[in-house]
Amino acid sequence: MRYVLVVLLVVLFGYSLALVLQNGTELSVDLLFTQVPAMRLGLLLLITLVLGVVLGLLLGVQVFRVFQNSWEIKRLRKDIDHLRKEQLNSAKLMAAEAAANTRHEKTVADVYSSDRPSSPL
């Protein structure tokens, strides 16, 4: 992977150098805040290319972060719904178990009270 990256960087550097050397025409460039009286056309092309790539990467990272946050929010909402369902099911199960225990205790109490002989008094 490193060798591919090194080769790609060398090719990109060579292309940039060829672009600057082939487009040697000098022209004046009026930037928004300043004016450059003489700049080579190849250098101007290279600067605009680099600025475009950097701005595109920064915007791409921001847009991807927005999508990533949206996906994470959706996943967390699904997890919350799943946990709520589990909590409701366990609450229902515990309520049914408590009701069964209450019935069992009542039945056991009834059995013990009917087994006792009535006192002769």
Q: Going residue by residue through the chain (121 aa), what tens digit of pLDDT does each one get?
A: 888 988 998 998 888 888 888 888 888 888 788 888 888 888 888 888 889 889 988 888 888 888 889 899 999 999 999 999 999 999 999 998 888 887 766 665 665 565 555 555 5
Q: Which two tokens stand for residue 2?
A: 């490193």
pLDDT of residue 94: 92
Contacts of residue 16, defined as CB under 8 A and 6 or more positions apart, other chains included, come to 46
Three-class secondary structure of residue 12 per DSSP: helix
How far apart, in whole angstroms, are the C-alpha atoms of residue 40 and residue 27? 6
Spell 18-39 as b/e; 16+ CB within 10 A means b.
ebbeeeeeeeeeeeeeeeeeee
Residue 62 carries which side chain, given as an amino acid letter? Q
Three-class secondary structure of residue 30 per DSSP: strand
pLDDT of residue 121: 54
